[in-house]
Amino acid sequence: MKKEIKKAVLAYSGGLDTSIILKWLQDEYACEVVTFTADIGQGEEVESARKKALNLGIKEENIFILDLQEEFVKDFVFPMFRANAIYEGEYLLGTSIARPLIAKKQIEIAHETSADAVSHGATGKGNDQVRFELGYLSLDPDIAVIAPWREWDLNSREKLLAYAGEHDIEIDRKGKKSPYSMDANLLHISYEGMVLEDPDTEPEEDMWLWTNSPEKAPDKPEYISIGYLKGDPVSINNKEMSPATILRTLNEYGNKHGIGRIDIVENRFVGMKARGCYETPGGTIMLKAHRAIESITLDREEAHLKDELMPRYAKLIYNGFWWSPEREMLQVAIDKTQEHVTGEVRLKLYKGNVMVVGRRSDNSLYSEEHSTFEEDEVYDQKDAEGFIKLNALRFIIEGKKQPSRRGSSEIEACKLETGTVSMCEKIKRFFGFAEKK
């Protein structure tokens, strides 16, 4: 039995799915619908959503279209990049990081309009349903959530188009199949579905909408500089810019030089594997630059611990836990490390590659006096002997007290396990147990 809903705020793009959801909410729940369209730099005309909503009977005062590009980059993308967050070694979390902002604004609009429910167009197979709903319930535990894809039987594009026809819902390119499921914002664009569902099929070149192919990128490299203040980029080529303008400008450089394409199979939170292709041109440049400025401003153990925390932080964002106390706790620790991450990084962009060619900072911990291969007066190389002996002390004691832990016993164990001396010899050499000739 459906819960009685008086008013629902729908995350509305004006596309096929959400236009149908709008009408379906009116019919199935007999509720008033509020539409919310977020401009987060997806590169599409968002005002057209207003006309579509009006045509479907939505009151003018119930249509919200917000430009969130600056907030998106400043409060979500930049904090994530302070952590150098990458999911499963490659994915820069372009879709994941947009969902908490959309959820936040939906809840704010629900409170403003006295709505008792929120709704989204994410399917029951993907990650976005989790990301949206964890956000909703973190920000308002009493809000009702309507997820049409988990309720209706319109489980194919053909059924959706038939529903649109029956209810006179105007859909762009009605009847034509879009080759990919795509999501875009100022940080990235993603592609899923159709031929990409075979992980062994190479995508067509014309799939990529943003970036030049590296083969067709300019034959001449281009140099740029990025200025940083406390871990965030604040200028490009010595020109100060707003957060969204910085990312937009870096996207232009990346697109020109074929930077930021990836083709991956990732592990979704719901349990299945999914193949996706992504273009993240500006983010790829930012990640390289940020790690470069950190390399001279962070203490070694601080940097290493931060790298150990990063996979956990990235996983939290991927799985939808942006508003969780553990993500906020990690953010405080990450932001503390950024207090001295200020300076400038110079980069060379060339045919899909981002190469660091220089980095400088007034807070630099790099000491040429100590690092030089020439004669110096600050480092006594004899000190290294004591340093090495102290680090080896436990090995020395162990070798004298428990000699069986080293040497021939490992060789015999290898023989018993593998049944072959040749394999044993390989293992011995790998672990440093090979007998001296």
What is the structure's pLDDT at 170?
A: 78
Active-site choice (13, 39, 128, 232): 128
The yes-or-no answer on residue 128 being catalytic is yes
Active-site choice (181, 295, 324, 364): 181
> Using alpha carbons only, how large is the chain's radius of gyration in Å?
27
% of the chain at pLDDT higher than 90: 76
Q: Where residue 220 sits, what CATH number does that domain have?
A: 3.90.1260.10
Same domain assignment for residues 232 and 349: yes
- Three-state DSSP class for 404? helix
Is residue 424's pLDDT more than 50?
A: yes
| Least confident window among 199-203, 211-215, 419-423 | 419-423
Please give the DSSP secondary-structure letter assigned to residue 257. Answer: T
In angstroms, rounded to a whole number, what is the distance separating the alpha carbons of residues 147 and 119?
Answer: 6
The yes-or-no answer on residue 261 being catalytic is no
Element (H, E) at 409: helix 408-418
| Least confident window among 156-160, 298-302, 400-404, 423-427 | 423-427
Active-site choice (13, 19, 96, 99): 99
Residue spans of beta strands (DSSP E) within 218-318: 222-229, 232-236, 239-240, 261-267, 273-279
Count of beta carbons in the 10 Å neighbourhood of residue 34: 27
Q: What is the total count of domains within the chain? A: 3
Is residue 174's pLDDT more than 80?
A: no
Is residue 51's pLDDT more than 80?
A: yes
In angstroms, rounded to a whole number, what is the distance separating the alpha carbons of residues 136 and 122?
Answer: 14
The yes-or-no answer on residue 183 being catalytic is no
Question: Tens digit of pLDDT for each residue in 89-120?
Answer: 999 999 999 999 999 999 999 999 999 999 99
Active-site choice (13, 17, 39, 50): 17
% of the chain at pLDDT higher than 70: 90
Q: Where residue 171 sits, what CATH number does that domain have?
A: 3.40.50.620
Using the structure block, give the residue that is written with the tokens 């080529």: 237
Q: Is residue 329 part of a domain?
A: no
Same domain assignment for residues 157 and 109: yes
Q: Is residue 306 part of a domain?
A: no
What is the residue range of 292's domain? 183-298+340-367
Same domain assignment for residues 12 and 147: yes
Q: Is the separation of the CB atoms in 343 and 359 below 8 Å?
A: yes
Same domain assignment for residues 43 and 150: yes
Same domain assignment for residues 195 and 214: yes
What is the structure's pLDDT at 374?
A: 82
What is the structure's pLDDT at 192?
A: 93
Q: Is residue 328 part of a domain?
A: no
The yes-or-no answer on residue 307 being catalytic is no
Give this prediction's pTM. 0.89
Same domain assignment for residues 260 and 155: no
